[in-house]
């Protein structure tokens, strides 16, 4: 017992919320270090299947679970046995889940969030939702983000990510917990910046995919990514984030991966939109959440509220929510007034 690893002074008992590809990958990663991990899967049928197969054949096939990884659909029991939570559910479900946890009356646990996105109705970041519904102490919250496909994480492919927390202790302990010789973890203090990066990069990845689907070429993709990063930074700074966060792993790193990687759901949706397919058909085939679709609307509304110009995001929003044509949104982006690049 004396050598048992600790997290914030307590024995490490991670509870990972979310049975999708990313939640499964994070649970797998921690269990691979020999830690006793519980993966909570909301869907009881999927939970039973994963428990029986010792593998998530629906969302992350091929990754056979370590012995120390347990799977459950009983949130109350698993919460009572956990020492901290790893959040890996779709953004639009965070509020409901946090309210459920709060209603159970168990002690509030620290949270490491791997969820990306902006809540549609409230325009809140994940940290803000958690603060409203569950955790009163922001020093107990960290966000983990960066260029990391789930399939490559479970294959032990060399990966680098970043964890941000207002508390240096929380950031350093989360770093130590997740870091391995193939999963390098850096730290930051800019929670808001890292969350904005993780949300908006999905919208820019949609735009890059649309460009590729239309066959516009490498020049177009490079322009979209560069100007897209600029508008991500503009909105972030307007919301109080640090501009340097956007040039790091959680910003340009995650943007590049999501906009160019063949495993990217958001890029895939964009490519098919660019080929003229209907969004509802694409999402039905995908079978998983592409956060960029909802984030395009949330980011557009945030930009309007703060007077920030997001031309690439606005183009994606118009295509998805105003039924604008591909030709119209392309013209909107390319017909903008001439300006100095230094204007950002």
Condensed to tens digits (0 to 9), the pLDDT of residues 148-161 reads: 999 999 999 999 99
Which residues have C-beta within 8 Å of that of residue 188, sequence separation ≥ 6? 162, 163, 164, 171, 194, 245, 248, 250
Residue 341 confidence class, pLDDT cut points 50, 70, 90: confident
Label residues 306-326 b or e (16+ Cβ within 10 Å = b): eebebbbbbbbbbbbeeebeb
289 annotated binding-site participant: yes
Which residues have C-beta within 8 Å of that of residue 65, sequence separation ≥ 6? 28, 31, 54, 55, 71
Which residues have C-beta within 8 Å of that of residue 235, sequence separation ≥ 6? 196, 200, 299, 302, 303, 306, 308, 310
Phi-psi region of 278 (alpha: psi -120 to 50; beta: other; left: phi over 0): beta
pLDDT at 35: 97
- Residues 244 and 194: their CA atoms lie apart, in Å, by 10
Res 82 pLDDT > 80: yes
Query: What would the CATH number be for the domain defined by 193-343?
Result: 1.10.1040.10
19 annotated binding-site participant: yes
**3-class secondary-structure state, position 159:** strand
- Residues 114 and 218: their CA atoms lie apart, in Å, by 31
Which residues have C-beta within 8 Å of that of residue 312, sequence separation ≥ 6? 203, 204, 207, 224, 227, 228, 231, 333
| Tally of CB atoms within 10 A around 185 | 21
2 annotated binding-site participant: no
264 annotated binding-site participant: yes
pLDDT at 338: 79
53 annotated binding-site participant: no
Write the pLDDT tens digit of every residue in 186-231. 999 999 999 999 999 999 999 999 999 999 999 999 999 999 999 9
pLDDT at 159: 99
pLDDT at 342: 66
Q: What residues does each domain of the chain span? A: 6-189, 193-343
Query: What would the CATH number be for the domain defined by 6-189?
Result: 3.40.50.720
213 annotated binding-site participant: no
* CB hemisphere CA count around 342 (13 angstroms): 0
Label residues 194-225 b or e (16+ Cβ within 10 Å = b): bbbbbbbbbbbbbbbbbbbbbebeeebbebbb
218 annotated binding-site participant: no
Give the mean model confidence (pLDDT) for residues 169-176. 98
What is the token pair recorded at 316? 């994606």
**3-class secondary-structure state, position 284:** helix
Residue 264 confidence class, pLDDT cut points 50, 70, 90: very high
- Residues 75 and 33: their CA atoms lie apart, in Å, by 23
pLDDT at 336: 82
- Residues 213 and 273: their CA atoms lie apart, in Å, by 7
- Residues 119 and 302: their CA atoms lie apart, in Å, by 11
Res 247 pLDDT > 60: yes
What is the token pair recorded at 10? 């307590």
**3-class secondary-structure state, position 102:** helix
Res 1 pLDDT > 70: no
What is the token pair recorded at 261? 């990687």
148 annotated binding-site participant: yes
What is the token pair recorded at 217? 């070429």
Catalytic residues: 201
């Amino acid at each position: 017992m004396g050598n048992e690893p600790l997290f914030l002074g307590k024995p490490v008992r991670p509870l990972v919320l979310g049975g999708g590809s990313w939640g499964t990958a994070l649970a797998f990663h921690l269990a691979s270090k020999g830690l006793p991990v519980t993966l909570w899967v909301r869907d009881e049928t999927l939970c039973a299947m994963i428990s029986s197969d010792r593998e998530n054949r629906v969302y992350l096939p091929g990754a056979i679970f370590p012995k120390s990884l347990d799977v459950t659909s009983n949130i109350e029991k698993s919460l009572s046995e956990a020492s901290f939570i790893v959040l890996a559910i779709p953004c639009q479900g965070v509020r409901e889940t946090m309210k459920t946890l709060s209603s159970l009356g168990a002690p509030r646990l620290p949270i490491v969030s791997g969820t990306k996105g902006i809540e549609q109705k409230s325009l809140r970041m994940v940290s803000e939702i958690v603060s409203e519904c569950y955790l009163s102490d922001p020093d107990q919250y960290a966000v983990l983000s960066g260029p990391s496909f789930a399939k490559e994480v479970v294959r032990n492919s060399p990966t680098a990510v970043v964890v941000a927390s207002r508390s240096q202790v929380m950031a350093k302990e989360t770093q130590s917990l997740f870091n391995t010789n193939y999963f390098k973890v850096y730290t930051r203090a800019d929670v808001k910046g890292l969350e904005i990066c993780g949300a908006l990069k999905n919208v820019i990845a949609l735009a890059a995919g649309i460009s590729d689907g239309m066959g516009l070429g490498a020049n177009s993709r490079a322009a979209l990514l560069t100007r897209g990063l600029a508008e991500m930074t503009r909105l972030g700074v307007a919301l109080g984030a640090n501009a340097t966060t956007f040039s790091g792993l959680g910003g340009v790193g995650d943007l590049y991966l999501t906009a160019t990687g063949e495993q990217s759901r958001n890029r895939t949706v964009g490519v098919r939109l660019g080929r003229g397919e209907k969004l509802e058909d694409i999402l039905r085939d995908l079978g998983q959440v592409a956060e960029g679709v909802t984030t395009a609307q949330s980011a557009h509304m945030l930009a309007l509220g703060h007077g920030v110009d997001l031309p690439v995001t606005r183009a994606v929003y118009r295509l998805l929510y105003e039924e604008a044509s591909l030709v119209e949104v392309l013209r909107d982006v390319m017909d903008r007034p001439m300006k100095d690049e230094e204007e950002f």
